[in-house]
Amino acid sequence: MRLVYSLLWYLLLPALLLRLWWRGRREPAYRVRWRERLALGLAPRACKDSIWVHAVSVGETLAAEALIESLLRQYPGLPVVLTTTSYAASRQVQQRFADRVIHVYCPWDTPDALRRFFAAFQPRLILLMETELWPNMIALAALRSVPVVLVNGRLSARTFAGYRRVPALTAPMLAGVSRLLVQSSADAQRFRTLGAPPTAVEITGSIKFDTDLTAVRPIAVQLRTDWSGRPVWIAASTHRGEDEQVLAAHHRIRQVCPDALLVLVPRHPERFARVAALVTESGFRVARRSLDEAVTAQTDVYLGDTMGELLALFGACDVAFVGGSLVPAGGHNLLEPAAWGLPVVTGPRLENFERIAALLTQAEALTRVSDAGSLAEAVTVLLSDATLRQRQGAAAAEVVAANTGALVRTLAAVSDQLLLSGLSSRTRSSST
């Protein structure tokens, strides 16, 4: 079955390269490092005994940051190779880690590209974030006796159903994963049903609960001061098709709260310019963070068109709507606004955050909406009722506090795996 899978990859390569070229029309960076997708042009033996962390996009990269910082601190003798697939994630890596990690785009899952990648970076441990399971990558790792650990693992019902359609590919792939550190008992059961060895599956919780606000708190406080105490709501990680609904809702909200400020943060940086134009077309006056434009009494919308600042922006707001949920994108991280003690509003499409949404719903900290009208109504009620807002926000913060600790458990499991691989003692002795 894996042979057929590999042949399909090779047949798709021309289309994938064409897609990169097409995306490069709007975001030229996609055309600059395309060779990395085939693991071409990598220096032979670029490093030795690396830890390879794969985090597909911005969300997974953000989730992995605390883990990577801990690895860099505890194992200074082991280089960390961090791969992503999106340009937005690569920018996030560069801003957060600079040259402390080696960043390349993840090679496509073809045998020859992976052989070149392994030859260049000689990974001794592979950490895959959330659902990034690739049959050829895992098979080659097994062939070379490189342990693979799934970190913060999750399986939505939709993804689970997809894997069940190809058991001949899925079961051998999961058998090649040394440890599956998953978020919930539901995720654990789904992985076991698909063929993961029961002893390899461990419930460690979601590391997204372990949100550290220390570094961004001063930024949030300064922003709040600059905004002169206006009622502020944020629409975060919005997708195409959501921005229009958010702006329509803002028109309605301002009929009741005329001084309300909307902080709009699109999910993908290649859309920043288009969303700025959309805000203007909707009749609003916009200030752009990327241009360091100040919010005045006349500003209607503050566009968060920078990378890596969403957590700080949450902290300057009163109410949070989390996007990717009014369109079929599966939702985005609900825990960042919850950690700030904000009431959270979301759409119905939450396939990627089922458990977290359930916890927040049970605590009466999450409001679900279905369109611009219900979004406007929910935000208006929360902005107008300080007692309700504080009660829901406190409940959200309590959910986060009650579920912390996943990062510590994950680090312990990774350290155990490094010890089993003989790398832990070697790097510590080399750094002393």
Q: In whole numbers, what is the pLDDT of the chain averaged over residues?
A: 93
Looking at the predicted structure, is the pLDDT value of residue 432 above 80? no
Q: Is-contact 302 262, C-beta < 8 A?
A: yes
| Strand ranges (E), 281-325 | 286-288, 301-303, 319-322
Can you tell me which residue has the tokens 């003989």?
Answer: 422
Each residue of 195-254: pLDDT tens digit?
Answer: 999 999 999 999 999 999 999 999 999 999 999 889 999 999 999 999 999 999 999 999
CA 390 to chain centre: 27
Beta strands per DSSP E along 195-318 = 201-203, 232-238, 261-266, 286-288, 301-303
End-to-end CA distance of the chain: 47
The pLDDT-based confidence of 422 (bands split at 50, 70, 90) is confident
pLDDT at 427 over 60: no
pLDDT at 24: 85
pLDDT at 126: 97
**pLDDT above 70 coverage of the chain, percent:** 97
pLDDT at position 253: 98
User: What pTM does this model have?
Assistant: 0.89
CA pair distance 269, 243, nearest whole angstrom: 14
pLDDT at site 192: 97
| Helix-, strand-, coil-residue percentages of the chain, each rounded to 5 | 55, 15, 30
pLDDT in tens, 165-188: 999 999 999 999 999 999 999 999
Where residue 423 falls among pLDDT bands split at 50, 70, 90?
low
Q: Which residues are catalytic?
A: 60
For 2-210+405-430, CATH gives 3.40.50.11720
Integer Cα distance of 388 and 375 in angstroms: 16
Q: Where in the chain is the domain with CATH 3.40.50.11720?
A: 2-210+405-430
429 pLDDT exceeds 80?
Answer: no
Please say if the pLDDT value at position 108 is more than 80. Answer: yes
The whole-number average pLDDT for the span 379-385 is 98
351 touches 331 (CB < 8 A):
yes
The pLDDT, as a whole number, for residue 26 is 79
CATH class, range 217-402? alpha beta
- When mean pLDDT is compared across 91-100, 135-144, 316-325, 381-390, the lowest value belongs to 91-100
User: Is the pLDDT confidence value at 284 over 70?
Assistant: yes
Q: What is the DSSP letter of 321?
A: E
- Please enumerate in sequence order all residues whose Cβ is within 8 A of that of 70, keeping only pairs 6 or more positions apart, or say none: 407, 411
For residues 252-259, give the mean pLDDT. Answer: 97
Q: Give 52's contacts (C-beta < 8 A, 6+ positions apart).
A: 81, 83, 121, 123, 125, 126, 127
What's the CA gap between 313 and 320, in Å, rounded? 10
Fill in the amino acid letter for 275. V
Closest among 126, 130, 56 to 93, alpha carbons compared: 56
Range(s) for CATH 3.40.50.2000 in the chain?
A: 217-402
**In what helix (H) or strand (E) does residue 181 lie, and over which residues does it extend?**
strand 179-182
pLDDT (0 to 100) of residue 28? 84
Arithmetic mean of pLDDT, 16-43: 89
Q: At what angle do helices 372-384 and 386-402 cross, to 10 degrees?
A: 100
The answer to whether the beta carbons of residues 346 and 366 sit under 8 Å apart is yes
**Tell me, what's the pLDDT at 430?**
43
DSSP SS3 for 248: helix
pLDDT in the model for residue 424: 57
